[in-house]
């Protein structure tokens, strides 16, 4: 490729990366290890998401992070046909879903590995991980045979 062709060659736009607040760093660190973790309250035993420094159920600040099962169901979803960011131009259509985990909390993510028109509310899903870069792994969900 000539210098002129290199200068005019179209570069793939980079995907925006999460910029997690301090409270959610354990979540993102575990995702890089292909683990899904949730904060669990030591006072009332509930899990919650998104992560915060206090339990969303009883407001206790006594919590720990624990591995989640990774199983859930599609609670709600939308199929995205419009390109809202140039980095996703080759991805449309894609599914953005609210996944209700077996542990109770709901996560906003993508449903992958299935045609968008086949996704249904109540469909059982299991977490899968997409390594976007050395520093970023995204939890996504694929159809599961059971929850």
Average pLDDT over residues 12-31: 89
Q: Delimit the domains of the chain by residue range.
A: 21-143
Helix (H, G, I), strand (E, B) or coil at 30: helix
Angle among Cα 36, 52, 64 to the nearest 5 degrees reads: 55
On the question of pLDDT at 12 being above 70, the answer is: no
Taking only the tens place, the pLDDT of each residue in 27-50 is 999 999 999 999 999 999 999 999
- 91 touches 132 (CB < 8 A): no
- If you count them, how many residues does the chain have? 147
Choice among 68-72, 87-91, 140-144 with the minimum mean pLDDT: 87-91
**Gap between the Cα atoms of 111 and 98, Å rounded:** 9
Other beta carbons less than 10 A from residue 70's beta carbon: 19
The rounded distance, in Å, linking the Cα atoms of 65 and 51 is 10
User: Is residue 31 within 8 Å of 10, Cβ to Cβ?
Assistant: no
CA-CA-CA-CA torsion sign (111, 116, 121, 124): negative
The number of helices, as runs of H, and strands, as runs of E, in the chain is 2, 7
Contact 102, 130 (CB under 8 A): no
Q: How confident is the model at residue 11 (pLDDT cuts 50, 70, 90)?
A: low
pLDDT of residue 14: 83
**What's the pLDDT tens digit per position in 92-147?**
999 999 999 999 999 999 999 999 999 999 999 999 999 998 889 999 999 998 65
């Amino acid at each position: 490729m000539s210098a002129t062709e290199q200068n005019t060659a179209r570069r793939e736009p980079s995907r925006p990366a999460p910029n997690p607040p301090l409270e959610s760093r354990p979540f993102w660190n575990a995702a890089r290890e292909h683990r899904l973790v949730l904060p669990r309250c030591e006072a009332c035993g509930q899990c919650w998401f998104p992560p915060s420094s206090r339990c969303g159920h009883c407001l206790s600040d006594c919590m720990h992070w624990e591995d989640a099962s990774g199983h859930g169901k599609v609670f709600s979803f939308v199929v995205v046909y419009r390109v809202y960011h140039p980095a996703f131009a080759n991805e449309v259509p894609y599914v953005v879903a609210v996944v209700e985990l077996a542990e109770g909390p709901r996560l906003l993510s993508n449903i992958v590995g299935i045609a968008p028109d086949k996704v249904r509310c109540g469909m059982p899903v299991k977490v899968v991980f997409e390594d976007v870069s050395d520093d970023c792994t995204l939890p996504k969900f694929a159809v599961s045979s059971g929850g």
